[in-house]
Amino acid sequence: MSHNGMQQRVIVTAGGSGIGRAIVDRFVASGALVHTCDVVPELLEEVIAGSDCVSGTLADVGKPTDVENLVAEAVSAMGGIDVLVNNAGIGGPRAALEDVSYEDWDRTIGVNLNGMFYCIKNVAPHMKAQNSGCIVNISTASAKVALPMRSPYVASKVGVLGLTHTVAREYGPFGIRCNSILPGLIDNERGRGIVATQAKERGITPAEREAEFLEFISLKCWIDPTEVGDLAVFLASPAGRHITGQDIGMDGNVEWEI
């Protein structure tokens, strides 16, 4: 519930699958209204059909006009915005930096970093008007340790941290908080798929590749997507009312990545 006793009104970007879907589900479970978006119509329809508390817009956050439409439809559907969860992101290419195409670099930065700017830019006036708001940006544990062959992704996600800190300072006087979550090795189809693909490339078994990942995670653990959702819900709750400008790992402490 929000401070004024009304339902929290939450935007979650890319809520059709993966971490985004888990975040939508956890906010719904907490009693919130959620407006989400996705680029895949079928996934968007599925998450909307899953709950009366969810509405949605087909949108690519890398396109400013799509984001303007998303925020307008969210305000129309929910009557305002209390929480923005910037979850949308793409992995980008896996290649040596010199082999990354200009287009792949631009697209990765365009979705992962520009997309968060577009969303915050369009949501901020609504939050300022009510003198409250919570923004949660999804970064990655890789932002702490860097990751060879993933320069566009890591650069975009480190950029997210700088954006988070600046928004926290700039908008704090208006009662708006901004934090980032840095997820680790995610235990879902995509996370398991990454391990399997990399194992195949290296000529080792998925179990061997998994062991390499876990060797440099202090708690030797995978992270369930719902854990990221629960952390987002906590940050948006009254219990998180004085937490801002923070980069919070939900990763078992990723010490290094290879």
- pLDDT for residue 5: 59
pLDDT band at 1 (very low <50, low <70, confident <90, very high): very low
Quick check: 50 pLDDT over 60? yes
pTM: 0.97
Neighbour-count burial of 63, counting CB atoms closer than 10 A to its CB (0-12 exposed, 13-18 middle, 19+ buried): middle
| Contact criterion met (CB below 8 Å) for 23 and 13 | no
* Percent of the chain's residues with pLDDT above 90: 97
- pLDDT for residue 3: 44
User: CA-based angle 25:155:230, to the nearest 5?
Assistant: 20
Q: Which of 1-5, 36-40, 124-128 has the lowest mean pLDDT?
A: 1-5
pLDDT band at 152 (very low <50, low <70, confident <90, very high): very high
Which is higher by pLDDT, 2 or 161?
161
In this predicted model, what pLDDT tens digit does every residue of 106-132 receive, in sequence order? 999 999 999 999 999 999 999 999 999
Task: Indicate if 153 belongs to the active site.
Answer: yes
Residue from 102, 118, 153, 171 carrying the catalytic annotation = 153
Say which CATH topology domain 9-185+224-250 has: Rossmann fold (3.40.50)
- pLDDT for residue 121: 99
SS3 109: helix
Quick check: 194 pLDDT over 50? yes
Rounded Cα distance between 70 and 84, Å, is 12
